[in-house]
Amino acid sequence: MSTPRKSRLLLSTAAAVAALTLGLSGCTNTGTSSESSAPAADTQQTAKASDGPTCSLADYKGEAIELKDATVGFSQSEKEDNPFRIAETQSIKDEAAKIGVKKLITTNAQSTLSKQISDIQDLISQGADILIVAPLNSDGLEPALKAARDKNIPVITVDRKLSSGACEDYVSFLGSNFVEQGKRAADQLIEGTGGTAKVAILLGASGNGVTTDRTKGFVDQIEAKAPDIEIVAQQTGEFARDKGQAVTEQLLQSNPEITAIYAENDEMGLGAQAAIIAAGKVPGKDIQIYSIDGTKNAVEQLAAGSYNGVIESNPRFGPLAFKTIESFLGGEPVGQDIVIEDGEYDPDNAADKVNSAY
């Protein structure tokens, strides 16, 4: 094993210190286009105040470097064929350009864990000083994380939380409270159905912490708040529109009593909508649809009355990720879990807020 190098670290700036506290409380910003003006306020990603454990430069070790001299690697986990991943990657690129990162190297694992491991190892071999990783799964990236940790390269994870230890295998996780998202989707469904429904759940990808948490939040809330709602089926649609449609077609045939669908992302919800139409039913009325993400396609359908509720999961991580890095590498302790505040869309606000969707 080669001698671990000290990672070269970014100098703190007054702006970073002002914007960032122990848990990055109150941090706001977002990325849309490198040439665009400041985004609308309701598209900005805001971190909740955190009293949890922090990670500091002293814990992780390193030496200072100007951001303009840094090489940043971004490892995207999934094919960029859905709005969430497209917006997420673009946000990283836009913010890197905005703040003057010397070099940004991006990779895409094409939804393959072994490729993401090799992608991260390749980013390290190309001289990445910092890594931003959108993990494919909660487990399995340990070889890549070890390669980074052996060289004390700071790793910031976004969107999906790892089972590995924060401030040990990586610095911080930036993302949503997925259990809370599931609870909020359940609340929308309870209100929209009047507390009586037969529900099918379109689960996300297997072995994924997001799937586990969004399911738990939803199921627990239904059991606690709506005893007259029955969950009649749960089946994975792998977070994909085509699979969501295929699964819904099967479920409607085997469970014709279904009156509502909870999809754990918008792509599956839109696939379910197509299946409902193909079955000769009216989406949004005969069968209600609730999902999580906040894509423009889903919010437009909600505004049109063909959808019933969407809980936001904001993918615009660029500004928050780089502010976290800047604060951490400048000597400020940052939260090991930095939870963002997500909005929601309903029939009353969808038309007004559609332009803030992605």
Give the Cα separation of 24 and 328 in Å (integer).
10
What does the pLDDT read at residue 32? Answer: 32
Could you give the count of Cα atoms lying within 13 Å of 233 in the half-sphere of its Cβ? 21
What does the pLDDT read at residue 50? Answer: 62
Task: State the CATH class of domain 8-176+315-342.
Answer: alpha beta
| Cβ partners under 8 Å of residue 327, min gap 6 | 12, 16, 17, 19, 20, 24, 334
What does the pLDDT read at residue 24? Answer: 35
What does the pLDDT read at residue 33? Answer: 33
* Global pTM value: 0.85
Q: Where do the domains of the chain lie? A: 8-176+315-342, 178-313
Longest alpha-carbon distance in the chain: 65
Domain 8-176+315-342 and domain 178-313, same fold? Reply is yes
What does the pLDDT read at residue 63? Answer: 62
Low-confidence residues in the chain, pLDDT < 50: 1-41
What does the pLDDT read at residue 86? Answer: 96
Tokens encoding 219: 């199921």
Would you say 301 and 270 are in contact if contact means Cβ atoms under 8 Å apart?
A: yes
What does the pLDDT read at residue 61? Answer: 80
What does the pLDDT read at residue 217? Answer: 98
Q: What CATH architecture applies to the domain 178-313?
A: 3-Layer(aba) Sandwich (3.40)
Would you say 209 and 170 are in contact if contact means Cβ atoms under 8 Å apart?
A: no
Give the Cα separation of 338 and 52 in Å (integer).
9
Enclosing H/E stretch for 157? strand 155-158
Give the Cα separation of 307 and 210 in Å (integer).
22
Q: Where are the alpha helices (DSSP H) in the chain?
A: 14-19, 57-60, 83-99, 113-125, 142-150, 178-193, 209-225, 241-254, 266-278, 296-303, 318-329, 350-353
What b/e string do you get for 303-314 counting C-beta neighbours within 10 Å, with b at 16 or more?
beebbbbbbbbb
